[in-house]
Structure 1
Amino acid sequence: MHERQKHRSSKHSPRHRVYNNNNNNYDDTKLHKVSSLQGQSQKSQSSKHPALPPYYYAIIFVTAVGCFINSYDGDFVFDDMEAILHNKDVHSGTPLSVVFSNDFWGSKIATNTSHKSYRPLTVLSFRLNHYISGGLHPRGFHIANILLYGLLCCLLLPTVHSLIQAWPEHFTLQRYQATFLAVLMFAVHPVHTECVAGIVGRADLLCAICFCLGFLAYKQSIEQEGDPSSKSKLSWLLLCGGITAIGVLCKEQAITVIGVCSAFDILVVNGVSMETVLTFNSSHFFNQKHIQSLLRRQFYLLLVGVAILSTRMWVMGSEPPIFQIVDNPHSFVNNTILRVLNYNYIYALNCWILVFPAWLCFDWSMGCIPVIYSIFDLRISIAFTFIIGLSCLLYKAAQSGPNSRVISMSLTVLIVPFLPASNLFFRVGFVIAERALFLPSIGYCMLCIIGLDVVTQNIKQKKLITGAVILLLAALAIKSIQRSSEWRKEVDLFNSGAFVCPLNAKVHYNIGKIAADRGNTDLAIEKYRLAISLSPKYDQPMNNLANILKEQGHLREAENLLIEAVTIRPEFAAAWMNLGIVQAALKKNASSEVSYLNALKHRRRYPDCYYNLGNLYLEVGKHQQAMDAWRNATIQQPTHVKSWNNMMILMDNLGKTEQVEGIGKQALNIVPDAPTIHFNLANTLGKAARFSDSEKHFLRAIDLDSGNAQYWSNIGVLYHRWNKLDKAENAYLKALKLDSSLTNTQDNLNMLLRKKLKT
């Protein structure tokens, strides 16, 4: 008792008081001045709320890493392909300045087609991985994600410990125990698998780390506020703003730490209850001794938020991203009441995923969650259940009870970080995204521990409760391990998605794409047709199915599918190009040219399309237009070997040896190890009787591709004409050994043998 009294007597200065709104006594759990003069008060406080034991950090780190360690040797999967594998910004050769002018996927952020996801620091972290690993090797990327997750969970210990600073004394669990259990539950939660096992989840990990650091910096600034001799309170406040800005450059959701800091300052530090906030009771709204410093901090948070949002809008070109109805059909419902019900139904499903994470899917779009179009839809009851449940929690938080503030902060951390994904302020490009639950799950875990304490107070069988908690944590950990293994390979990930969301057309499209890449065209056709049947306006499977049908000779059906695809999405450049290829095969040359030009209209940098357009012009005898098209292809993509070859072959056919040699030398300056260019140049030089120069390029082509029978056959012809009959014979024999079906080579060999007999 003596220590407790001593502790209270050290807080007589009004500058250090923090009122408990429940009984108007000083609350020992609030932030206060920490100085050398308060050693005794610190001691008494630590006896009341012991500091977090150091071994907690080790346990949390090992547990967090252990749940997802089996994803360390996974492949690049799903969005990793676009954001990393095909993103030139990740390659070390790309100028750094380009990273800050492009979006997360490597496209110019100011364009209309950009998703407006501006995360340059995350891209730079990928680039660092690329530099350290010496290339795009997924293992290094995965290991970095796993370690970052372990670091994040360790940072959550002091973060959650501060967020539940108003932990009531009458609770069974101690504050440090509640902190440990909440963070442990977070560490093992399966909903985090996408952010850890999926490499693009790096954005969420870095964002969450900045979220924690920003909050801790803000908390430190408040602690310094209580010390008149401290000169660093402004520095900590500025650091909070700086970290928040850095977090937003990792992922946009980091800005929500401003709302959490604001709520923490009002509800916890200044002891204002939700009831006071909602009723605007001005006589108790603020502790008058702290009103000025509180308002300064709140104004600073407002300035930081406005500055970040304004800068963000400027970077985006003041235009929001444009999403199609297939991305988020619930947000396109015209009826306001039905749209609100759809949103609440989706919120309820998000909560269910947190509570019961057995059904997890990499993508929840494209029919995975059917839209509610009628007020008689039974799923409306789920939406109303969610509304009632949330209302009860808010009512409990608004009461003046001893646990209202800790519930209020838990709800704040649950709701505020979710707001950017809620469709309330702007339309988002997804229905449900498990990554959007990453930060909100912190608040959910805090609420679960509060609920656990309430249960513990009402049930005397403590061992039963302990066993249930251990069983729950073990079940979550096992699910995380199992789920992270599914993220190792795309085929496993997509098949698991088909099991959870059999109506999701995108899932079946992705399975079909993998099947096509592996040569299983029958499965690919089946999955593409299923995707189209589930979503008749889904243009991508139409394009891919048409490509397979084109290769199988079903040109008419392929043409119809591609016409449908470009009708649905007129800016679909790839479909326009493929339509041009099919129409060229059908000898619809005029239509083919129009299709190619439409493709180039919607994608100006399209070397493959210029290549195919050149082939069309060659077919109809427009040689100069063909040369111009191929030249454009090589300008846009200097390594476009096929275009270089076609230019050389056309000039050779026209008897323009000098032009062939000039084109060949220009190409070899860019792609010196392209065997086909050496081969075509050697053929032209051989025709011009420049045998030595021709031999040099033939030998280089063979050195680069020794298994090509045609190369051996043609160098045999060169030696034959050069009268080096033994070398010619050896070359012919080598060619026939590689490919016995070369009848011309066999004829040349017979001719050579007859010639040798005569001599």
Structure 2
Amino acid sequence: MKGSLLLRTYIFPQGVNAAFDVLLICNVNVYELCQRLIFRKNLDLREMLRTRLLTRLALLGLGGLLMLYARWRIMGTGPPAFTEVDNPASFEENIFIRIVNYNYYYSLNAWLLLCPWWLCFDWSMGCVPLIMSATDWRIVLPLLLWCILIGLMNQALCSPDSQRRRTLTLGLVLLLVPFLPACNIFFRVGFVVAERVLYLSSAGYCLLLAFSLGHCCCHWTKQRKLLCVLVLALLCVYVVRCALRSHQWRSEQSLFFSALSVCPLNAKVHYNVGKNLADRGNATAAVKYYREAVRLHPNYVHAMNNLGNILKEKNELTEAEQLLSKAVSIQPDFAAAWMNLGIVQNSLGKFEEAEQSYWNAIRFRRKYPDCYYNLGRLYADQNRHVDALNAWRNATVLKPNHSLAWNNMVILLDNTGNLGQAELIGREALKLLPNDHTIMFSLANVLGKLQKYKESEGFFLHALRISPNAASCHGNLAVLYHRWGKLELAKRHYELSLKLDPKAPGTRDNYNMLQRKLDQLKRSPKHV
């Protein structure tokens, strides 16, 4: 795709400019010029020099090559790598089958220009089955296309009408030259059909269509009104189709679903529909499309990874492990699948396998903070506290705003009695994440245990301003007030916590304990 982009962007527009200069500005007869070159007749170079045609052509060529070289250096000089699912015909060993399918692709592009009804955001992964034998009826379409092109070329070169020759030649140049980078002749491209490559070619198509209609109107005077009606009807259809397609592009959901009817055999279409559904929270429906993507393309590792993730969340761990194991066996450097496999194995209690999966993920993606975070969780489950802290520290070094890693470090140090170190980590985290209420909550708990009640209260209240409906925060603030001796405030926050979460663990017991203490204070005699 990189080479195709370079040629479309720089070289072939220069060719179109050169053709415009030759045909329209200098009015060169291409057919006569070709005859003189073939039969080595004298060329009138003085006329070309006088009009500075050769100078302009040389400057266009030099400018195009310089831009191509600059872009090539910026993008990198390595060749692009494509897979068989991107362009299956280019990987076919039989050269006859390869050529037939290339020409079939050309006919599909021609049909999309003529009737852009079947449009899809992606045409790979089995969307267009290969022609494998001469008995396939689709082989007629390339033959029909070449008959039409040869007829147009014949008129463009040999017509006695000079105006027709120039118009048809320019139309064919505008139609064919911008499409050359996508035709697999110069290099393999990374797509079967890509509607974007027809943007420039549509100018030539429109010119040829307009010329043909004008020619028909001049020669078919009796049918002129009928032709005008047909042209208006065609324009109306194109306008409606354009409006419909524009509406489909308004959202990912409508774009992906519109492709299902065009390319039902395309695994990537089903994958994108499933991903869109999962992103919108409809995981149950997403499973159906991910399964279909895997069925259509059994080696589709990204679909396996996403399906495995959903099954993991649904606690279908055995199938999730099978899918993710298959994904990493197909693509051993798939770091995300290794990490997800580690999470599943950890949930299944396969700690050694999970640790190895995490380290495989890190080996293939060295800067992987989420994997270090999950590795830390594995170590914490095994009571390997130092290893867990080191893993979470690595996560925060790679991603300083990794809130979960910071928070888990504070909680682990708190639980193991390292309150001073927990305070330092919590304060360090809040310098980077000053509005993270979860870290404020954990730090407030640590400060409360250190009997720094005033600071602890400040962090609890700040966290509640950010997340006022956090039942656990109200409950722990109540515990702080309880210890501090501010019993009425403790009662108030216990009640708020129980209102938000009546089943909060321990809160009901603490509240009952506080009530008994308040009752005792009310019954005890007052001292003057």
Normalising by structure 2, we get a TM-score of 0.93
Structure 2 partner of 1:457: 218
Structure 1 partner of 2:292: 530
Are 1:345 and 1:379, in contact at CA under 8 Å, matched by a contact in 2? yes
Out of 24, 28, 37, the position equivalent to 1:268 is 24
Distance in 2 between the 1:277 and 1:746 partners? 97
Distance in 2 between the 1:673 and 1:680 partners? 13
> For 1:379, what is the secondary structure of its paired residue?
helix
Out of 386, 390, 406, the position equivalent to 2:145 is 386
**Structure 2 vs 1, CA of residues 570 and 702 (structure 1 numbering), >3 Å: closer, same or farther?**
same
Are 1:338 and 1:375, in contact at CA under 8 Å, matched by a contact in 2? no
Deviation at 1:116, TM superposition (A): 5.1
Structure 1 partner of 2:120: 361
Structure 2 partner of 1:568: 330
Structure 1 partner of 2:87: 328
List aligned pairs for 1:193-592, cutoff 5 A. 253-279=9-35, 280-281=37-38, 282-283=40-41, 285-286=43-44, 288-291=46-49, 293-402=52-161, 403-460=164-221, 461-592=223-354
**Structure 2 vs 1, CA of residues 539 and 401 (structure 1 numbering), >3 Å: closer, same or farther?**
farther
Q: Deviations over 1:35-66 (max 9, x none)?
A: xxxxxxxxxxxxxxxxxxxxxxxxxxxxxxxx
Q: Deviations over 1:202-251 (max 9, x none)?
A: xxxxxxxxxxxxxxxxxxxxxxxxxxxxxxxxxxxxxxxxxxxxxx7xx9
Q: What amino acid maps onto 1:597 in structure 2?
A: W
Out of 475, 481, 502, the position equivalent to 1:740 is 502
> For 2:137, what is the secondary structure of its paired residue?
coil
Are 1:618 and 1:626, in contact at CA under 8 Å, matched by a contact in 2? yes
Are 1:274 and 1:399, in contact at CA under 8 Å, matched by a contact in 2? no
Deviation at 1:344, TM superposition (A): 0.8
Structure 1 partner of 2:377: 615
Structure 2 partner of 1:166: none
Distance in 2 between the 1:563 and 1:390 partners? 52
Moved more, 411-420 or 702-711: 411-420
**Structure 2 vs 1, CA of residues 446 and 118 (structure 1 numbering), >3 Å: closer, same or farther?**
closer
**Structure 2 vs 1, CA of residues 118 and 346 (structure 1 numbering), >3 Å: closer, same or farther?**
closer
Are 2:126 and 2:265, in contact at CA under 8 Å, matched by a contact in 1? yes
Does the alignment pair 1:597 with 2:359? yes
Deviation at 1:397, TM superposition (A): 1.6
Are 1:270 and 1:286, in contact at CA under 8 Å, matched by a contact in 2? no
Deviation at 1:287, TM superposition (A): 5.5
Out of 412, 419, 441, the position equivalent to 1:657 is 419
Are 2:19 and 2:173, in contact at CA under 8 Å, matched by a contact in 1? yes
> For 2:12, what is the secondary structure of its paired residue?
helix
Are 2:4 and 2:182, in contact at CA under 8 Å, matched by a contact in 1? no
Normalising by structure 1, we get a TM-score of 0.65
**Structure 2 vs 1, CA of residues 321 and 393 (structure 1 numbering), >3 Å: closer, same or farther?**
same
Q: Deviations over 1:696-720 (max 9, x none)?
A: 1111111111111000000011111
Does the alignment pair 1:718 with 2:474? no
Are 1:270 and 1:287, in contact at CA under 8 Å, matched by a contact in 2? no
**Structure 2 vs 1, CA of residues 559 and 682 (structure 1 numbering), >3 Å: closer, same or farther?**
same
Measured on the aligned residues, the alpha-carbon RMSD in Å equals: 2.0
Structure 2 partner of 1:689: 451
> For 1:326, what is the secondary structure of its paired residue?
coil
Are 2:10 and 2:64, in contact at CA under 8 Å, matched by a contact in 1? no
Deviation at 1:316, TM superposition (A): 2.5
**Structure 2 vs 1, CA of residues 632 and 286 (structure 1 numbering), >3 Å: closer, same or farther?**
farther
Are 2:275 and 2:286, in contact at CA under 8 Å, matched by a contact in 1? yes
Q: Deviations over 1:229-282 (max 9, x none)?
A: xxxxxxxxxxxxxxxxxxx7xx95354210111222233333333323544255
Out of 385, 391, 403, the position equivalent to 1:629 is 391
Distance in 1 between the 2:44 and 2:206 partners? 29
Unpaired segments ≥5 residues, structure 1: 1-114, 120-247
Distance in 2 between the 1:116 and 1:631 partners? 39
Q: What amino acid maps onto 1:596 in structure 2?
A: Y
Deviation at 1:641, TM superposition (A): 0.2
Higher RCO by CA contacts (8 Å cutoff, separation 6 or greater): 1
Deviation at 1:582, TM superposition (A): 0.8
Distance in 2 between the 1:375 and 1:538 partners? 31
Are 2:10 and 2:68, in contact at CA under 8 Å, matched by a contact in 1? no
Distance in 2 between the 1:430 and 1:333 partners? 14
Are 1:276 and 1:284, in contact at CA under 8 Å, matched by a contact in 2? no
Distance in 2 between the 1:643 and 1:725 partners? 34
Deviation at 1:365, TM superposition (A): 1.6
Q: What amino acid maps onto 1:359 in structure 2?
A: W
Are 1:368 and 1:501, in contact at CA under 8 Å, matched by a contact in 2? yes
Are 1:273 and 1:400, in contact at CA under 8 Å, matched by a contact in 2? no
**Structure 2 vs 1, CA of residues 286 and 651 (structure 1 numbering), >3 Å: closer, same or farther?**
farther
Q: Deviations over 1:590-614 (max 9, x none)?
A: 2212222222222222221111111
Distance in 2 between the 1:276 and 1:611 partners? 73
Moved more, 519-528 or 468-477: 519-528
Distance in 2 between the 1:367 and 1:277 partners? 45
Q: What amino acid maps onto 2:512 in structure 1?
A: N
Q: What amino acid maps onto 1:420 in structure 2?
A: P
Structure 2 partner of 1:33: none
Q: What amino acid maps onto 2:125 in structure 1?
A: M
Q: Deviations over 1:86-129 (max 9, x none)?
A: xxxxxxxxxxxxxxxxxxxxxxxxxxxxx75999xxxxxxxxxx
Distance in 1 between the 2:133 and 2:387 partners? 57
Are 1:275 and 1:400, in contact at CA under 8 Å, matched by a contact in 2? no
Deviation at 1:743, TM superposition (A): 4.1
Q: What amino acid maps onto 1:289 in structure 2?
A: E
Are 2:11 and 2:65, in contact at CA under 8 Å, matched by a contact in 1? no
List aligned pairs for 1:164-175, cutoff 5 A. none
Q: Deviations over 1:538-581 (max 9, x none)?
A: 11111111111111221111111112212222222211111111
Deviation at 1:522, TM superposition (A): 2.7
**Structure 2 vs 1, CA of residues 277 and 541 (structure 1 numbering), >3 Å: closer, same or farther?**
farther
Distance in 2 between the 1:629 and 1:277 partners? 74
Distance in 1 between the 2:75 and 2:10 partners? 17
Distance in 1 between the 2:370 and 2:505 partners? 33
Instruction: Mark the structure with the bigger radius of gyration.
Output: 2
**Structure 2 vs 1, CA of residues 623 and 117 (structure 1 numbering), >3 Å: closer, same or farther?**
farther
Are 2:277 and 2:285, in contact at CA under 8 Å, matched by a contact in 1? yes
Q: What amino acid maps onto 1:515 in structure 2?
A: L
Are 2:97 and 2:132, in contact at CA under 8 Å, matched by a contact in 1? yes
Moved more, 673-682 or 412-421: 412-421
Distance in 2 between the 1:658 and 1:116 partners? 56
Q: What amino acid maps onto 1:269 in structure 2?
A: I
Are 1:562 and 1:576, in contact at CA under 8 Å, matched by a contact in 2? yes
